[in-house]
Amino acid sequence: QFPTHQNQNQPPKTGHKPKLRTQELRNEILFSFLAEIILESINLMDTVLEDEEYSYREVKLPTLIPIVPEPGLERESGERRRGRDIVIAVDHGPNSKHAFDWALIHLVRLADTIHLVHAVSSVRNEIVYETSQGLMEKLAVEAFEVAMVKTTARIVEGDAGKVICKEAERLKPAAVVMGTRGRSLIQREV
């Protein structure tokens, strides 16, 4: 029971903090801990050298023609009419597919161009190339069916992180979308 007070509007003085404030403090501590980890991980990232060469192969995607005419883009203004470049890093994993689907539903709009980027160990390996090409073609068809957007695709040799940075530098996109490997922030740092 709480002690009685002369003023009923004042909280009882029990020496304990309310449970809500305790949870707020826990959240603040956790947030500051996670922010510190993020800042540390940013400082540990590898720098991509400007003059670094890399190998790639463009993927020839099927030409897709809409059955119905596109809505009048002439009524749209500015960036929406011109469209944006959006880089989507893809691989054969479920997280990549989820990121791709998310981009189609929540980010991409008419007149945008999707640039699919897939990092591989070797672009000269025909089996790797054909498997990647099949994935890119499937995703390009899906992008057209869902969002009616143009898609380009490039298979690039090298480390995925460096490849994505290099392509982003080359294309100067409005957004870069990629999946994760399913690990939490703490697991990635440990």
pLDDT at 48 exceeding the cut of 50: no
pLDDT at 142 exceeding the cut of 70: yes
pLDDT at 68 exceeding the cut of 50: no
pLDDT at 47 exceeding the cut of 60: no
What is the structure's pLDDT at 78?
53
Predicted TM-score (pTM) of the model is 0.61
Q: How confident is the model at residue 123 (pLDDT cuts 50, 70, 90)?
A: confident
Q: How confident is the model at residue 46 (pLDDT cuts 50, 70, 90)?
A: very low
The stretch 182-190 carries a mean pLDDT of 52
Rg (CA), the chain: 25
| Domains in the chain with CATH codes | 56-189 (3.40.50.620)
Q: What is the percent of the chain with per-residue pLDDT over 70, rounded to a whole number? A: 55
Q: Copy the structure tokens of residue 19.
A: 């449970």
Q: What is the percent of the chain with per-residue pLDDT over 90, rounded to a whole number? A: 41
What is the structure's pLDDT at 66?
52
What mean pLDDT value characterizes the chain?
74
pLDDT at 138 exceeding the cut of 80: yes
